[in-house]
Amino acid sequence: MSWMAWTQTTAVFFGVIACMLIAMTVWELRCPSTERRGFLPIETSRGDRLFIGLLSSAYIHLMFLGLTELSLWIALAVSAVWLAIVLRWG
Amino acid sequence: MNKTENNKAWLLVLPVFLLVAFSAIIPLMTVVNYSVQDIFDQNSAYFVGAEWYKEVLQDPRLHDSLLRQFIFSGSVLLIEIPLGILVALMMPTRGAMASLSLILLAIPLLIPWNVVGTIWQIFGRADIGLFGWGLNSLGIDYNYASNPMDAWFTVLLMDVWHWTSLVALLCYSGLRAIPEAFYQAARIDRASKWAIFRFIQLPRLKNVLIIGVLLRFMDSFMIYTEPFVLTGGGPGNSTTFLSQTLTQMAIGQFDLGPAAAFSLIYFLIVLLVSWLFFTTITHLDKRK
């Protein structure tokens, strides 16, 4: 595994994403989601909203890095709130 | 019709999943790991956090090649999609001529990228190339190696020559799938050619056009070999697109960390655009 050049930070990052995917799979198996329309302009399932939330979170982080000098912890907090909003009301 | 639930099907998907994991997911994870480290060799790597992302995002080289890339992909779509539709509309529908035109259209698609670059590199030369020599003979001062506008013109022309056939073939198959009854109804209504195109052919081509736009966008957004062989990214940096900037960074300068960060930003752009197209296609189908 050393050729993959792991660091603690990236291991935590992928670990969190893997946990999210496992949790979503278990949730889906126990209580299957149906597509619905929220504030997003399209009908989405739970998995779609997670993907939209994660992709937009990546862009939020890039915007913080490229346009501001603010800490990435703020970007992480904003992303977490945004992800929760998209998952609940998206 | 009743569907039977059988979770054993997942086992059949497993080999594909493993293959994708080894060919895509694990290399992508490695790139993420590289992007947060300063790597000198296999044994010495230092964690630098998001520094490379900051550096790359504020690098004018990335901004310039990103802008060039969007202009190039936009121009490719603006030219190739209408031209492909036009070619498909003009193609014969039956007989030997239909087969001949299909073969002729398929030829550019069969030529490898680097060969296409070489063909146009020679074709465009003012001394030995027919195209370059012809333009200069007409009194047009054309030299793709020294004039950025000429270089852009040649790269675009090369891409149009190489890939318009794909759009034309997709549209041709879409047009052939329209039942004759639609045209009969249009003739009874004395519809003009334009009305037939606007209200019968174009709506029926929507799905193949979305696929065509997606394929052409993705391909043109990742273009590397053809402009590299033709112009080498020059004159200056005028035809250096994203892939070439990335290759220069990763292989030319061996800056693996910044190149990894650059790749991931590139990947996120491609992912966003693909997702937008995918969503458009699936939601159009749902509406039907």
Domain that holds residue A47: 8-89
How far apart, in whole angstroms, are the C-alpha atoms of residue B168 and residue B14?
37
Q: Tell the residue number behind the tokens 């939330």, with chain if given.
A: A53
Complex prediction ipTM: 0.91
Q: A5 and chain B: CB distance < 8 Å anywhere?
A: yes
Could you tell me which CATH number the domain at B64-287 has?
A: 1.10.3720.10
Contact of B56 with B261, CB cutoff 8 Å: yes
Contact of B61 with B245, CB cutoff 8 Å: yes
CA distance B54 to chain A (A): 5
Per-residue model confidence as pLDDT tens digits over B155-173: 999 999 999 999 999 999 9
8 Å CB contact of A62 and B58: no
Residues of B at the A interface (Cβ-Cβ below 8 Å)? 26, 29-30, 32-34, 36-37, 39, 42, 45, 47, 49-50, 53-54, 57-58, 265, 268, 271-272, 275, 279, 283, 286
The two structure tokens encoding residue B94: 């039956």
Helix, strand or coil, per DSSP, at residue A59: helix
Per-residue model confidence as pLDDT tens digits over B37-78: 988 777 788 888 889 999 999 889 889 999 999 999 999 999
With cut-offs at 50, 70 and 90, classify the pLDDT of residue B287.
low
For chain B, first and last CA: distance in Å?
A: 20
Residues of A in contact with B32 (CB under 8 A): 10, 13-14
pLDDT of B1 strictly over 60? no
Q: A14 and chain B: CB distance < 8 Å anywhere?
A: yes
Q: Which of B46-55, B117-126, B273-282 has the least mean pLDDT? A: B273-282
Provide the number of structural domains found in chain A: 1
How far apart, in whole angstroms, are the C-alpha atoms of residue A87 and residue A80?
11
Q: What is the domain partition of chain B in residue ranges?
A: 15-49, 64-287
Q: A34 and chain B: CB distance < 8 Å anywhere?
A: no
Specify the amino acid at residue B216. Answer: R
What value does the mean pLDDT of chain B take?
Answer: 89
How does B202-238 read in b/e, with b if 16+ C-beta sit within 10 Å? eebbebbbbbbbbebbebbbebbebbbbbbebbbebb
With cut-offs at 50, 70 and 90, classify the pLDDT of residue B102.
very high
pTM: 0.82
8 Å CB contact of B42 and A3: yes
For chain A, first and last CA: distance in Å?
A: 38
Per-residue model confidence as pLDDT tens digits over B223-237: 999 999 988 887 888
Mean per-residue pLDDT, A74-85: 95
pLDDT of residue B3: 62
Q: Which of B184-193, B198-207, B245-254 has the least mean pLDDT? A: B245-254
Contact of B264 with B31, CB cutoff 8 Å: yes
pLDDT of residue A85: 95
Q: Which of B47, B57, B279 sits opposite A66 (nearest CB)?
A: B57
| Residue of B156, B145, B162, B160 whose CA lies nearest to B233 | B145
CA distance B34 to chain A (A): 7
pLDDT of B6 strictly over 80? no
pLDDT of residue A4: 81
Count how many pairs of residues, chain A against chain B, have C-beta atoms within 8 Å.
51
Most confident of A5-9, B172-176, B280-284: B172-176
Mutate to test the interface with A, among B54, B274, B277 (most CBs of A within 10 A): B54
Instruction: Classify the C-alpha dihedral B271-A49-A22-B278 as positive or negative.
Output: negative
